[in-house]
Structure 1
Amino acid sequence: MNMTNRLAPSVWRHKPLWLAMMAALTSPVTVTAADNSTTIDLDQVPVTGNPLGVASDDMVVPVSVLGGRELSLRRQGTLGETLNGIPGVTATQFGPNASRPIIRGLDAERVRIMQNGVGVLDASSLSFDHAVGIDPLIIEQIDVVRGPAALLYGGSAMGGVVNAIDHRIPKESLNGYTGRAEARFGGPDNTRNGAAVVDVGNGLFALHADVYSRETSNLDIPGYAVSKRKSLADGTERDSKGKKTLNNSAGFANGGAMGASWTFDKGYLGLSYADSNNYYGTVAEDDVKIDMNNKRTELAGEVRDLKGPIEKLKLRMAYTNYKHVELENGEVGTTFKNRGMQGSLEGTHQTFLGLNGVVGYQFQNTRFMALGEEAFVPSVTTQDQSLYLYEEYAIDKHKITFGGRTGETSVRSADSDNFGTGQNKRFSPNSFALGGLYTIDESWVATVNLSHNERAPSYFELFADGPHIATGQVEIGNTALKKERSNGIDAQLKWKSGGHSITLGAYATKFKNFIGLFNTGNDRLVDGELLPEAEFRAVPALFKGLELEGKFALNDEWALRVRGDYVHAKDTRNNDYLPRISPLRLGGGLDYRLGNWNARMDVLHAFKQNDVAENELKTDGYTNLSALVAYKLPVKYHVELFAKANNLLNDEIREHASFLKDISPAGARSVLVGARADF
């Protein structure tokens, strides 16, 4: 299937920009620097989870960092699938084109997705068939904060934070050029994709440009799309969504960006503009495709070594113009728009009474619109502003961290013929945290973090009212919802010695009023079809779990990796399990390095999920065995060829956390080949 020949208006709407950027990236670069092979070696240090920029080993909250070669080899077509398998992280897996990260069993508004430290504005939290407005092809680093991060990033970070960093605004002085390019072909969806990134500078000014393109066919699957369990439960024909191939799962996407910055001894100031397009089929409906366009303008700057109580100021702002239309048999059905400005101003103060820390102001002003027959939420304006404080106090090799956040949130729905008179709901969420890091000896470190978090209900939790075809149910909001409140504890024990390391973490989060979407047991007649009814309501809940990650250097060539995670979540009022909670997962792998060769074998086993909510089907376990071989060419620039094999056992992989687990499995056994180059 060649989707470029189908109806995909937004993909080619900006063809002149696309061609201009391709020309810029493929033309020779003339640099007057003495050494025009100068490159910037950007360390994979987390920039998320601690505003003071400490290494991950010195952080109280658990943070995973993907960057460089590891990110390139792990990269998938969606952000969710790229991160799936990191301890504590699963994915919504709404087909191969739309997958959003789930952290510790929490999804949607509780996982804050950011780009360069500023929130991503799209419609992915409203409906899981809506793709995240970030393409992994152009991302240089991804930080994942597991656990509550509401103190620094707002109430929507109750579950964690995913910060995708693209360096489109250069932050360091560059005298010469640096860049990367990669391409890959194959996989279960017959992907054909490529990306190129280049930065050029003269020591004072730096320019950035990137471009990418991705095309996929319908996804190959091991057997039937519809699970045997679902077919027995409701009589759905097993081949109704496809056999050996998942119906309506092809896609096409492209985009690019340009950025520029003025770099000086004590900081930088820069601007970037990005335009991305995504056109793909929604596997829940065979005749529906989504045509998405996302424009984002960013402004960022930093000034260091200031005189006075504030020694560093950091500004980050982004304006987003997001739109997608849902096409039914080529005709426009529903249109979704989300426009707005988000940003923050953060100041690092001088050391005071042994305290190092920051004070910040964060704001958001967005307007969401849904127009058409299948719009199940009204148009909504959301305004949010908050102040936060984060401090660290060092005691020899130990430290204490603490801070707080206070804010105001307004969620206002517009008058509508379908939804009635508009309403304005106001909330005042507040959060605070206290943590500590204790250095036991040179190898052992223990951390603990206590937090109280509050979140204002989202617009769809408040105002939804109608059939949501993508999830196959009628969703009913609740305007009486109060702030969602939780108290949590997160502890880690870390060991590192030589080339060995292991981290064991445990956590528990108790919600006073967890806002969830629960099946009522009733059915609604919609256009002649009975759909189950689900409503947003608040229940007391307890989430608890374990996470494990380790690496052991067996010798100079071989290394062993282990990982695992477990989440247990219940409605404590009725002692019922909460829906879509990932089961116990255990995994491991072997890495082999010899000269220019690198090989890897990895296995992840997900156990059967029997602990299910009412009206939720159980999910069988699976084993995903994968392999990788890579070879670094003996040439001037860093060029590497690689081949990846996935699902070698051709197992039927269904993620319990997915709404579509029983009609949309993961891909069949496949091989993907590619090349990557850094210069």
Structure 2
Amino acid sequence: MSLSPLWRLTPLAAALLIGSQAHALELQPQVITGNPLGSQQLASPTTVLEGDDLTLQQKGSLGETLNKQPGVSSSYFGPGASRPIIRGQDGDRIRILRNGVGALDASSLSYDHAVPLDPVNVERIEIVRGPAALLYGGSAIGGVVNTFDNRIPTEAIEGIHGAGELRYGGADTTRSSAGKLEAGNGTFALHLDASAREFNDLKIPGFARSRHAPESENGPGKNGRLGNSNGRQDSGAVGSSYTWDDGYAGLSYSNSDSNYGSPAEQDVRIRMQQEHYAFASEIRNLQGPFTSVKLDAGYTDYEHREIEGGETGTTFKNKGYEARVEARHQPLGPFDGIVGAQVSRSEFSALGEEAFVPQTDTHAGALFILEEMQATERLKLSLGARLEHTTVDPDGKGNERFAKANSSSSFTAGSLSSGAVYTLTPIWSLAATLGYTERAPTFYELYANGAHVATGTYEVGDAKLSKEKAVASDLALRFDNGTHKGSFGVFYSHFSNYIGLLNSGRTLNDEGEEDADGIPEYTYSGVRARFVGFEAQDHWKLGEGAYGKFALELSGDYTRATNLDTGEALPRIAPLRLNSGLLWELDRWQARIDVEHATGQGRVPRNESGTDGYTTLGASAGYRFNLGGSQWLAFVNGENLTNQTVRYASSILRDIAPAPGRSVQVGLRTTF
């Protein structure tokens, strides 16, 4: 597999190289996710976040870190938990990977369940928007978010390198520290990292509850603060590898521990722990039918406790493994490609009287193939297929609420995809994708039945659900003339069976009986659905002179999602968003001013509330300097400087948990 010079370096060394360049945006690193063939251009729309951009946009959760990227919104559940939503699709339609492999947790089960990953430990994030199920399974029917941390070094390391970071401030008064160390002798490599973060209740403009929020026995809450939104996060990892000219093999262990409040319930806290073991290896330049073979595997032990009034109400546990192998074959005529296999097992249990899902074992196995060909000098084509079999085996343990969870369900899902990139001129190109994807319903979509205390909802599954099926396409016009670089694209997805978590309009008590004073019922229902929208972005170099370099970044996105069975909108869809950023660089200084505008979201289902539009102002500045053999970046980052009330339409808590108010955060980062 041929790698560009940048990727011959370790990620830490690459970060040092990026920092030494005049402008990181001018580099064009290769996108790895969904790109095992090493193509310079992918037909699918992608975004890469790394270097100073990642440092300045980093938040305490993955969803908030990516919230301003094209097509990406946040499931926002306060500062403790949020998951990325891509083009209006969330949960098990968005595959979150670590170094290309899934790490089991419970974040897709519910919005209050955090992704056990601190972005401060991540060196690079790649987002593939649109169907990526071909390589990563049906749970990537909406897209993939892949994080890279180099905990298993993939390239030789010489000597000792490291990085460290301190942060203070923000709307939640974050106090965080992180560090990592990498050492090697050119053959053996070692990686160590650790991080800690504490945060207070979030500062917000006014009261937390909107005019649409139901009355609460706690009243309107505290003015200027989001109650029960404080918490802490701790994590650490150790990894090592053996490297040689044509490959590597290594192991890693990581641990994550969190304790945070649920803004939905003032006396509920979440205690989350995860241990993850990983193995990765790649052998290149082989002789025979395959030129390279890559193996990734991981085992995860996850526990999540919901503590109400100091006592544990429900304990969620998830143990399991995932392994995948990819083999690149010798060119067959015009075709260059890979074949692969993936297996996984998940043992999920929910313990306690308030458990709303049964114990479930899920087994899955898949085969896939991806081929690419240079059809003409200007046209590159890709074709692929995947076949996946999933078995979901529940055990209600005699609980009457799970009486329907008495037999296993099996699903065989198939996916087909095609892509094309056509070079019109040296400046302009067209990229298109067309795919058919199937996804097996998850255990909670099938068997959930009970009150979920942390979110204040009563969730009901449907054991008769069939596979989710979608036909999706993308078409984008891309351009790069040296001054302007960007794209404008449209997308369309049609689901013949879309499994949505929909508000039924009823309120139930803890026993599942209708009660006017109860909590809202949400049901997992299969409906026909359509998603359409656009994404646009442009990086415009305004010029360079004695006062430095200036550039303008413009972007916008819009998703319109419709329940075709009722004609209503689907819930939790972000509105039209427009972003602009003015960038400046001079010697060691860098700064930017950002303006984000989101329109009101009035297109909502009958039983849902809309959100008002908002316009926010942000600014950041950084200064680079050297001390001895180390490189430093001191930065300050301000967000929502005009202290606007912001409620994300994509958040289930939009009426009781607004986004942060005015905030200023300072930080210091070093690499050596």
TM range (shorter): over 0.9
Match of 1:541 among 519, 529, 537: 529
1:214-253 CA-to-partner distances (Å, cap 9, x unmatched) read: 01011110111001232xxx44489534320110111111
Match of 2:337 among 348, 352, 357: 357
Please name the residue that 2:34 is paired with: 49
Q: Conserved in 1, the CA contact under 8 Å of 2:306 and 2:454?
A: no
1:72-127 CA-to-partner distances (Å, cap 9, x unmatched) read: 11110000000001010000000111000000000000001111111121111111
Q: Conserved in 1, the CA contact under 8 Å of 2:450 and 2:510?
A: no
Q: Conserved in 2, the CA contact under 8 Å of 1:226 and 1:238?
A: no
Where do 1:478-627 residues align within 5 Å? 478-526=462-510, 529-556=517-544, 557-627=549-619
Q: Conserved in 1, the CA contact under 8 Å of 2:188 and 2:242?
A: yes
Aligned with 2:248: secondary structure?
strand
CA RMSD of aligned residues (A): 1.5
1:387 to partner: Cα distance:
0.3
1:477 equivalenced with 2:461 (yes/no): yes
Match of 2:434 among 443, 450, 459: 450
1:38 to partner: Cα distance:
12
The letter of the residue matching 2:525 is R
1:519 to partner: Cα distance:
2.0
1:644 equivalenced with 2:637 (yes/no): yes
2: distance between equivalents of 1:473 and 1:335? Answer: 17
Where do 1:273-292 residues align within 5 Å? 273-292=253-272
1:415 equivalenced with 2:396 (yes/no): yes
1:332 to partner: Cα distance:
1.5
2: distance between equivalents of 1:442 and 1:129? Answer: 47
The letter of the residue matching 1:590 is L
The letter of the residue matching 1:49 is G
Please name the residue that 2:450 is paired with: 466
Please name the residue that 1:110 is paired with: 93
2: distance between equivalents of 1:518 and 1:215? Answer: 34
Q: Conserved in 2, the CA contact under 8 Å of 1:228 and 1:238?
A: no
2: distance between equivalents of 1:508 and 1:332? Answer: 44
Q: Conserved in 2, the CA contact under 8 Å of 1:377 and 1:465?
A: yes
1:524 to partner: Cα distance:
1.6
2: distance between equivalents of 1:471 and 1:325? Answer: 14
1:40 to partner: Cα distance:
2.5
2: distance between equivalents of 1:646 and 1:284? Answer: 24
2: distance between equivalents of 1:414 and 1:469? Answer: 22
Q: Conserved in 2, the CA contact under 8 Å of 1:75 and 1:136?
A: yes
Where do 1:427-442 residues align within 5 Å? 427-442=411-426
Please name the residue that 2:55 is paired with: 72
Please name the residue that 2:3 is paired with: none
Aligned with 2:30: secondary structure?
coil
2: distance between equivalents of 1:255 and 1:132? Answer: 12
State, as a whole percentage, how many aligned pairs show the same letter: 44
Match of 1:385 among 351, 365, 373: 365
Please name the residue that 2:670 is paired with: 677
Aligned with 1:633: secondary structure?
strand
The letter of the residue matching 1:540 is R
Name structure 1 gaps, 5 residues minimum: 1-36
Aligned with 1:575: secondary structure?
coil
2: distance between equivalents of 1:543 and 1:465? Answer: 28
Please name the residue that 2:69 is paired with: 86
Q: Conserved in 2, the CA contact under 8 Å of 1:628 and 1:643?
A: yes
Q: Conserved in 2, the CA contact under 8 Å of 1:511 and 1:541?
A: yes
1:423 to partner: Cα distance:
1.8
Inter-CA distance 452–39: structure 2 relative to 1 (3 Å threshold): closer
1:665 equivalenced with 2:666 (yes/no): no
1:179 to partner: Cα distance:
1.9
Q: Conserved in 2, the CA contact under 8 Å of 1:197 and 1:209?
A: yes
1:228-285 CA-to-partner distances (Å, cap 9, x unmatched) read: 232xxx4448953432011011111111100000000100000000011011111111
Q: Conserved in 2, the CA contact under 8 Å of 1:241 and 1:663?
A: no
2: distance between equivalents of 1:276 and 1:227? Answer: 34
Match of 1:98 among 75, 81, 85: 81
Inter-CA distance 38–70: structure 2 relative to 1 (3 Å threshold): closer
Aligned with 1:80: secondary structure?
helix
The letter of the residue matching 2:382 is T
**Count of matched residue positions in the alignment of Structure 1 and Structure 2:** 638
1:21-63 CA-to-partner distances (Å, cap 9, x unmatched) read: xxxxxxxxxxxxxxxx9963268432102111233xx110011
1:403 equivalenced with 2:384 (yes/no): yes
TM-score normalised by length of structure 1: 0.92
1:308-327 CA-to-partner distances (Å, cap 9, x unmatched) read: 11000000000000002111
2: distance between equivalents of 1:656 and 1:372? Answer: 32
Inter-CA distance 176–499: structure 2 relative to 1 (3 Å threshold): farther
2: distance between equivalents of 1:190 and 1:628? Answer: 17
1:634 to partner: Cα distance:
4.2
2: distance between equivalents of 1:375 and 1:187? Answer: 35
Moved over 6 A (4+): none
1: distance between equivalents of 2:518 and 2:421? Answer: 54
The letter of the residue matching 1:552 is W
Q: Conserved in 1, the CA contact under 8 Å of 2:164 and 2:669?
A: yes
2: distance between equivalents of 1:367 and 1:207? Answer: 31
Q: Conserved in 1, the CA contact under 8 Å of 2:436 and 2:472?
A: yes
1:424 equivalenced with 2:417 (yes/no): no
1:224 equivalenced with 2:224 (yes/no): no
1:149 to partner: Cα distance:
0.5
Please name the residue that 2:7 is paired with: none
1: distance between equivalents of 2:409 and 2:359? Answer: 14
The letter of the residue matching 2:329 is H
2: distance between equivalents of 1:458 and 1:634? Answer: 51
1:532 to partner: Cα distance:
2.2
TM-score normalised by length of structure 2: 0.93
Q: Conserved in 2, the CA contact under 8 Å of 1:87 and 1:548?
A: yes
2: distance between equivalents of 1:499 and 1:213? Answer: 41
Q: Conserved in 1, the CA contact under 8 Å of 2:324 and 2:343?
A: yes
1:334 equivalenced with 2:314 (yes/no): yes
1:481 to partner: Cα distance:
0.6
2: distance between equivalents of 1:239 and 1:48? Answer: 47
Aligned with 1:462: secondary structure?
helix
The letter of the residue matching 1:678 is T
2: distance between equivalents of 1:345 and 1:423? Answer: 31
Where do 1:320-331 residues align within 5 Å? 320-331=300-311
1:525 to partner: Cα distance:
2.4
Match of 1:161 among 141, 144, 148: 144
Aligned with 1:40: secondary structure?
helix
Aligned with 1:471: secondary structure?
coil
2: distance between equivalents of 1:54 and 1:223? Answer: 50
1: distance between equivalents of 2:112 and 2:252? Answer: 28
1:137-177 CA-to-partner distances (Å, cap 9, x unmatched) read: 10111111100111111000011001111100000011112
1:374 to partner: Cα distance:
1.8
Q: Conserved in 1, the CA contact under 8 Å of 2:103 and 2:299?
A: no
Q: Conserved in 1, the CA contact under 8 Å of 2:265 and 2:456?
A: no
2: distance between equivalents of 1:424 and 1:634? Answer: 61
Inter-CA distance 214–611: structure 2 relative to 1 (3 Å threshold): same
1: distance between equivalents of 2:397 and 2:323? Answer: 30
Comparing 472-481 with 336-345, which one deviates more in the overlay? 472-481
Q: Conserved in 1, the CA contact under 8 Å of 2:92 and 2:108?
A: yes
2: distance between equivalents of 1:538 and 1:270? Answer: 43
